[in-house]
Amino acid sequence: MSAPRTLYDKIWDDHLVNSQDDGTCFLYIDRHLVHEVTSPQAFEGLRMAGRKVRAPEKTLAVVDHNVPTSPDRHLGIKNEESRIQVEALARNAADFGVEYYSENDKRQGIVHIVGPEQGFTLPGMTIVCGDSHTSTHGAFGALAHGIGTSEVEHVLATQTLIQKKAKNMLVRVDGQLPPGVTAKDIILAIIGEIGTAGGTGHVIEFAGEAIRSLSMEGRMTICNMTIEGGARAGLIAPDETTFAYIKDRPRAPKGKAWDMALEYWKTLHTDEGAHYDRVVVLDAANLPPIVSWGSSPEDVVSVQGIVPNPDEIQDETKRASKWRALDYMGLKPGTKITDIAIDRVFIGSCTNGRIEDLRAVAKVVEGRKVAPTVSAMIVPGSGLVKEQAEAEGLDRIFKEAGFDWREPGCSMCLAMNDDRLKPGERCASTSNRNFEGRQGFKGRTHLVSPAMAAAAAVSGHFIDIREWK
């Protein structure tokens, strides 16, 4: 009998090409997603060295960060810097024979939404992308690493990645979530608990009843933000929910190949008695809806809570940094979270821009109006999410409520396109990062779930979604 292994151990072992005495390993990479921000120099490097893309059929390119989300974007990208980046990816994909979804392709969207949607992301695979939120794909039981541009070039050329093995960490979320509390609240609570460095050097496997009960959308939200907890990757063992999501996707295996794949996928779980280097346990039943108050995803509190007082922090450096965060956010200790008024609402991103997220928003805002003091936008994560939402009539609900209904892309998740906050503006956002300037120079971001963002849009301030009538 071989020693019991974790899910991470199994995927690692199945992809190990070579390992050196110092722990340096070559991992075979099954899937490579490429976007316009981190790929130009990588393709340029190949060109200069006269190399080809080794496995174009395992590579998929899509534009997301720089594309405008306005309805007239098919007329061309006005911002020159963005246009140059988007055109470069189109050219590189054509030159190197890589499939490419342009901003006018219905399948275009945020790379981490597109991969799963197409069945390009499958259980047991190693997946990379020059993007930190590649961890999202771990929701399928795939080992998914964000990589840098020089690694993008290395993978394009060799279909391998140089890695050292990380440690195993388990985050178990027991019990059932109360109504109104979502996957987003789980992951914000976890990061609040372990801190942004809590997962450093580890791959986190999420397990427990509350995780098992989540849809694939919810699981993707959890794995998406694993990276904000400092971990190398996040993983959730595949199960019937996973298989049902994948079945009949354009790139999923079909017929006999499906049966064979399924047989393998069913072995992808941690063995009884396998060792984790660290274990964290949370009880879902105790979780409230969560709102971030500072400039780090660990700065979180219950919607029923107050802005904390940094003076209560022992560590001097940390105390100073949290004071700075409050100053940046324009908040005072002791303020009730529900008394914080907002100017903008952003619903979208690879954290919460999927169909289930939009349905949750529609449920909250149907027959209501966005507060007159608030400007709110909804950005579907992909063209297919947009199409589905429109087929269900969600766009009508949004527009009647006064939301701006946009074209797919990263949008105001980060200020790399036309969608951004003005200095001092305060935003309830379903995205994953709240660093200074993230959504625009001097913009103020509060991270929340889609339902909480929707309720804030209508109320003009944060409100406990559990009390929504």
Please report how close the Cβ of residue 132 comes to ligand IPM at its closest, in angstroms: 4
Closest CA to 455 of 434, 436, 430, 438: 430
- With CB under 6 A as the rule, give the number of residues binding ligand SF4: 12
Q: Tell me the residue length of the chain.
A: 469
Query: Binding ligand SF4 by CB under 6 A: which of 169, 188, 350, 421?
Result: 350
Minimum Å distance from CB 148 to ligand IPM?
A: 9
**Does 5 participate in binding ligand SF4 (rule CB under 6 A)?**
no
- Using the rule CB under 6 A, is 145 a contact of ligand IPM? no
295, 436 Cβ separation under 8 angstroms:
yes
**Which listed option, ligand IPM, ligand SF4, none, makes contact with residue 349 (CB within 5 to 8 Å by class)?**
ligand SF4
Q: How far apart are alpha carbons 344 and 418 in whole angstroms?
A: 15
Q: Say whether 427 counts as a known binding-site residue.
A: no
- The DSSP symbol for 22 reads T
Choose the stretch contacting ligand IPM; rule: CB under 6 A; options: 129-137, 212-220, 241-249, 449-457.
129-137
Q: How many CB atoms lie within 10 A of CB 243?
A: 17
Instruction: Confirm or reject binding of residue 414 to ligand IPM (CB under 6 A).
Output: yes
Q: Tokens for 75, please give them.
A: 């007329």
Given the complex with ligand IPM, which of 66 and 459 has the nearer CB atom? Answer: 66
Q: Which of 391, 394, 304 lies closest to 357 in space, CA to CA?
A: 394
350 marked ligand binding residue: yes
Whole-number Cα distances in Å, 322 to 209, 429, 445, 468: 34, 20, 15, 31
Q: Does 69 bind ligand SF4 (CB under 6 A)?
A: no
Rg, C-alpha atoms of the chain: 22
C-alpha dihedral sign at 384, 387, 391, 392: positive
Q: Which stretch binds ligand SF4 (CB under 6 A): 159-167, 289-297, 323-331, 407-415?
A: 407-415
Near ligand SF4 by CB under 6 A: residue from 5, 31, 73, 133: 133
Q: Give residue 424's region: left, alpha or beta (phi > 0; psi -120 to 50).
A: left
Can residue 133 be called a binding residue for ligand IPM (CB under 6 A)? yes
Residue 375 or residue 432: which is nearer to ligand SF4 going by CB?
432
Residues 6 or more apart in contact with residue 361 via CB below 8 angstroms: 347, 378, 394, 398, 450, 451, 453, 454
65 touches ligand SF4 by CB under 6 A:
yes
Q: Give 382 or 459: the residue with its C-beta nearer to ligand SF4.
A: 382
Task: Write out the residues near ligand IPM by the rule CB under 6 A.
Answer: 37-38, 65, 131-133, 146, 414
